[in-house]
Structure 1
Amino acid sequence: MDRSDTLAALRRGELGGARALRLPDGLSEIPREVFALADTLEVLDLGRGSLSDLPAEFGRLHRLRVLFCSGNPFPRLPPVLGDCPTLSQLGFRGCGIREIPEEALPRDLRWLTLTDNRIEHLPAALGERPLLQKLMLAGNRIATLPDRLAGAENLELIRLACNRLETLPSWLADLPRLAWIAYAGNPAESATAPTAAQRVPWAELEIGDLLGEGASGRVHRAVWRGRGDAQAVALKLFKGAMTSDGLPEREMEACLAAGPHPALTGALGRLDGHPEGAQGLLLRLLPPQSRVLAGPPSLASCSRDVYDPDQRFSPDHARQITRAVAEAVAHLHGRGLLHGDVYGHNILWDAETGAAVLSDFGAASALPGGDAGAALARIEVRAVGLLIGELLDRCEAPPARLRALERACTHPDPHRRPSLAEAVAELRHRPA
């Protein structure tokens, strides 16, 4: 049903018993009829409009689990959110929010998206939400993180890119479940020199079909005629806006800095002269049978990928995929980069051969040297371990040695995890 039709049906009283409600853009107030659904409503999307606060009786929505308010001009996170007893996911992206009152954080908060706002300070109470699993804070003005966040033992993903952090607190790398982190575009990120790259004129390209689209841009099939013979390539055109991971410019720089590796998509050059000024990268074109390994996290899975329920992997393919990804991540660490997003939905694989390629550098950050870099690298070791487990869960007879490696890589004490080099060595081992 169209969102405008949904609003009309709501006002006619035709949506009794609805569990999800997605209203159209342009609302200036919440329709009173929403509260008639209090006994069933679990997901509410208020669209992009001119809402700047929520009514005092919002807590009447006692079954509400998910609320999306992105694109509405909220000066602060509404305190009334704390009155909703089952609310666990909040999406307030691009709202101009400056203030986060403690009482606005629901008791069962699990997933909080505050990307692209004007937040300078976070309340200490954020670390007192024991279910907190996913925290999206890119594109704000945050200079420090509250120390109590060190107690967020279930936090698995944090996005801190494009803030004002002078340092990353050491306790981040000690969080027992943290597997995905992005912090590019902060003063805390190690300085890196720009990567030299071939400039590819727009006039040398013939643009073909759309291959895929993500938060940061679209990928097209293309033919490049700049080297004499025509070459089939992939062209990623960036949208230029802040994503939940950070800025597209940082993604481009990381992709170029990564250099060539058989298990990475690989940048061939930077686009020049797009007629609308769009930025872009030429990437190697993967075989047509390449498929995305998994779907991105859902509202229910929060920070974990969603696999086809019928998907199965042979033990050999599970080992081959995880070995390729681990080798690619180790290569990135050796070049001073943290990928930040080692997920099945960022892996393309060939079901016939088992070959796999890690893509998407949107969450990549510069990896410092020394102990600080080694500590951050151990976060990514956990991400590799989770991937191993996901594939083994879909094997008929998962090898015991790979199960042992999964447990080692995901150990709650990061200091007891193996290095990526040790994980790669184990993944290269083939049973006799």
Structure 2
Amino acid sequence: MIWEIEDKKDEIEGLDADGRPDPAYAAALGLLPAPFGRRALALVCDVIAWMLVQLPLWIGAVPLLLKLADGSISAYGFVNHPGFVLAVVMAAVTTFLTLVLSVLQLVMHGRSGRTIGKGITGIRTVDVRTLERPGVGRVLLRYLMFCASGILPLIGPVLLLVSPTFDPERRGRGLHDTATRVWLVDVRQGLNPYDDKRLRVARKLVKAEPTRGRTTLPSLATPTDPAQQPAYRPGTRVSAGVIGIARPHAPEDRPEIGLAQAVPPTLPAAAELGKPVFGGYRPAGERPADPVPGAGAPEPQPAQPQPAQPQHLALHLDTGESIPVTVPLLFGRNPDPAGYPTARPVPLEDESKSLSKTHLLVSPADGGLEITDCGSTNGSGLARAGMEYVIEAGVPVMTVEGDTIRFGDRSAVVVRV
């Protein structure tokens, strides 16, 4: 028997139908091409770092080599010169430092997308298809192409350096960038692709296409005109028993919500079989005897009003757990109640680290719950009537039964208990 194992390849997001990287997708994530001025400054910084490690050679060995070159001393005098040992040591130091700097620059560039110059100027190099680290191999090939351009003195390096200005995609990719499939991005003004959390959130936002900015929520006030439909009706239970959001409809096409009207059972049919009554059983069809005055029959008492059972709202988390909100609650990975002394911390598990340490404050209020984003990293949102609204940090927002609250990658539904 031959077993066939299908290789599961990871799907790369942001590619067009031809498998090429889509510039519009990268722009939607917030990635910006590195400016030419800062790219030139990064190159200057790298050249300065390379020149610094050459100082031992220039100070200790080059003067003696110049004397040998202009004939001031012979080869025999060069070897027996008092400064010959110092010149050899300085040349060895320069060779060692140059090797260490070259390896360090290649590894840093391939693993973290930056060199010394790129780190100073806020530039990172990424794989243009996956938006991940380019790898040491591609960085080395890119460097060798730059060195090979020197075969045509002056013309080759200049042509390679100005080629990013002719990029048809307007992403500043030169000939050596296109050949090695890399892209230089600006992490000062745009998204840092090496920040895994922010890149993951940006990809989710691009997929979900949420409503940008703060949108006016529908009014919860009752309209003054009886014939006018309310702008929003709280969520209710549908026939499947699932919390849903009820949307206003016209009078002629209003849907049936809830269980169908039940038909009351016919009690006479059940009475024919004989049912227990106060004081014993009676045969079917027999009329009960009238109570005899003074025979100990209890007099009817007036019905006592039953105390109303208090109803509270709760958060039904995406894990299936329901948390009643009777006091202010502080949600997060490890909430710190120092800034909210009246709130009770509620730590939540979050393997993806999308929740902040102190993320969301939920407080009971008249007619609903009041939620406040505590300046979280990934923000919070409110889903109502099929629309999602961004919650501004520090601004309390009123929620009602049926609303869905999103905080990080977690979510919760406001329900009544």
TM-score for both structures, normalised by structure 2: 0.21
TM-score for both structures, normalised by structure 1: 0.20
